[in-house]
A = this chain, B = another copy of it.
Amino acid sequence: MAKRLKGNAVVGQSGGPTMVINESLVGVIEAAKRAGAIRRLLGARHGVRGMKTGDFVDLKRLSAARLAQIAKTPGSALGSTRDKPDKKYCRKIFEVFAAHDVRYFFYIGGNDSADTARIVNELAGEAGYELRVFHVPKTIDNDLRTTDHCPGYGSAARFVASAMMGEDRDNASLPGIKISIIMGRDAGWLTAASSLARRRPDDGPHLIYVPEVPFVLPRFVDDVMKVYRRLGRCLVAVSEGIVDTDKKRTPIAVRLALRWGRPVEYDTHGNAQLSGTGILGDFLTEYIKKKIGKRAAKKLRIRADTYGYLQRSFAGFASPVDRAEARLAGRMAVKYATGADVDGSVAFRRKPGRRYAIECFPTPLASVARLTKSLPRNYINRAGNNITEAFRAYAAPLVGDLPQIGAIG
């Protein structure tokens, strides 16, 4: 039996929010209310930033009715941050933790956040401060290693799939070429979710481009025009993170911004800003127009949309499965941390059997931090311009029921 560590706990949220990140927060609060080892549960405002300055809120005081409302709300209810703490930053956190007798630290976030948790944990060890650290996974990018999938992904995927279902019908109504740019910095998981929109053989998206496959512009135009000639229309999903054959793997969107004299922002983790601009979509439509010639372009309806932050924040449309799993991940983090002397991250694996079901397991922080997980090759078709049935079988249970689509035929 592990030594029973008693004290207060801190929970924080970090990185880009999701539609269900507050389900995990409420999961932590619920479990902490029941855990004898945790006296007070302090919510840190804006992640490590609040931990450094002692900007806390007492979370056990919130009523069940209030928690139920918070759970359904997108965005990080505690506020988020992109700060990446160094040793000095962490020393301040320790001082605050010690002053508040904090012995449990729960951090809800992505792989950058797992890395932050790992660093805080290491420094705690070096400082001889006994602290149990548990990371609760969260990312619409679905690119954490070890776990089958990440809370937050199913809801973002549900948004993308429903958006594409509607776009396909819109594109069939007023035929033309439609390009939609989908979030995902390094991996194509969310862009691949657009494939869930397809119901019948000629439904869009007809082409899907992910960062895992080098994006070659002339080939892209050929692909699009081939579909257009066959169906009289073409719906395309493109990841914001597509890269060409550039050896440094700089996203095309970043190189475009630099070329067009636009400022490119980098966060403290070294990630360039890809979202919050329509640059890639605009470039691709203009490139097609130029390539096929003015005369052909005049007769062709070519449009681009960038789904942007709605993919992670849209209210009232989360996947029920994702909501339940995000809640579970929060609860399990508390269970693991208070049950034994372990640090780590909560991961999911699928139970065997035909019906979809998951179970949780703890995994070391280092197995989740920093590195990301790409789409496996068998989820991408041979030509590198579409997504396979294998991916659809993987992702379908995560998004829940999708809208029905009816057609006159």
With contacts A82-B174, A309-B303, A408-B57 known, is A162 near B73, CB below 8 A? Answer: no
Within the assembled complex, what's the spacing in Å between the Cα atoms of A102 and B76? 58
8 Å CB contact of A73 from B75, B285, B309, B404:
B404
Chain B residues closer than 8 Å to A175, beta-carbon distance: 79
Q: Can you list 22 A-B pairs with a CB-CB distance of less than 8 A? A: A17-B173, A57-B408, A69-B404, A70-B406, A73-B405, A73-B406, A74-B166, A80-B173, A82-B174, A163-B310, A165-B316, A170-B312, A170-B313, A178-B276, A263-B297, A276-B305, A277-B304, A303-B309, A307-B310, A315-B403, A315-B405, A316-B317
Q: Are A170 and B17 in contact (CB under 8 A)?
A: yes
Distance between A166 CB and nearest chain B CB, rounded to angstroms: 4
Q: Are A406 and B172 in contact (CB under 8 A)?
A: no
Within the assembled complex, what's the spacing in Å between the Cα atoms of A184 and B309? 20
Within the assembled complex, what's the spacing in Å between the Cα atoms of A310 and B182? 13
Q: Is A169's beta carbon under 8 Å from chain B?
A: yes
Q: Are B170 and A408 in contact (CB under 8 A)?
A: no
Within the assembled complex, what's the spacing in Å between the Cα atoms of A179 and B94? 38
Chain B residues closer than 8 Å to A22, beta-carbon distance: 406
8 Å CB contact of A310 from B76, B276, B304, B310:
B310
8 Å CB contact of A167 from B43, B174, B310, B317:
B310
Q: Are B170 and A74 in contact (CB under 8 A)?
A: yes
8 Å CB contact of A74 from B13, B169, B263:
B169
Chain B residues closer than 8 Å to A314, beta-carbon distance: 162-163, 166
Number of copies of this protein chain within its complex: 2
- CB nearest to A59 among chain B residues: B408
Chain B residues closer than 8 Å to A172, beta-carbon distance: 75, 79
Q: Is A62's beta carbon under 8 Å from chain B?
A: yes
Distance between A161 CB and nearest chain B CB, rounded to angstroms: 9
Chain B residues closer than 8 Å to A279, beta-carbon distance: 278, 282
Within the assembled complex, what's the spacing in Å between the Cα atoms of A67 and B169? 16
Chain A 391-403: CB-based contact to B (< 8 A → 1; otherwise 0)? 0000000000011
- CB nearest to A304 among chain B residues: B276
**Given A79-B173, A178-B309, A282-B282, 9 new contacts (CB under 8 A):** A17-B169, A17-B173, A69-B404, A77-B407, A169-B315, A170-B312, A262-B282, A275-B303, A316-B317
A: residues with CB less than 8 A from B are 13, 16-17, 19, 22, 43, 57, 59, 62, 66-82, 162-163, 165-175, 178, 262-263, 265, 275-279, 281-282, 285-286, 289, 297-298, 302-310, 312-317, 402-408
Distance between A135 CB and nearest chain B CB, rounded to angstroms: 18
Looking at A16, A75, A277, A407, the one whose CB has the most chain B CB atoms below 10 A away is A75
Within the assembled complex, what's the spacing in Å between the Cα atoms of A306 and B403? 24
- CB nearest to A17 among chain B residues: B173
Q: Are A13 and B173 in contact (CB under 8 A)?
A: yes
Q: Are B407 and A166 in contact (CB under 8 A)?
A: no
- CB nearest to A316 among chain B residues: B403
8 Å CB contact of A77 from B289, B306, B315, B406:
B406
Distance between A214 CB and nearest chain B CB, rounded to angstroms: 24
Within the assembled complex, what's the spacing in Å between the Cα atoms of A168 and B77? 11
Distance between A26 CB and nearest chain B CB, rounded to angstroms: 9
Within the assembled complex, what's the spacing in Å between the Cα atoms of A314 and B172? 14
Within the assembled complex, what's the spacing in Å between the Cα atoms of A349 and B310? 34
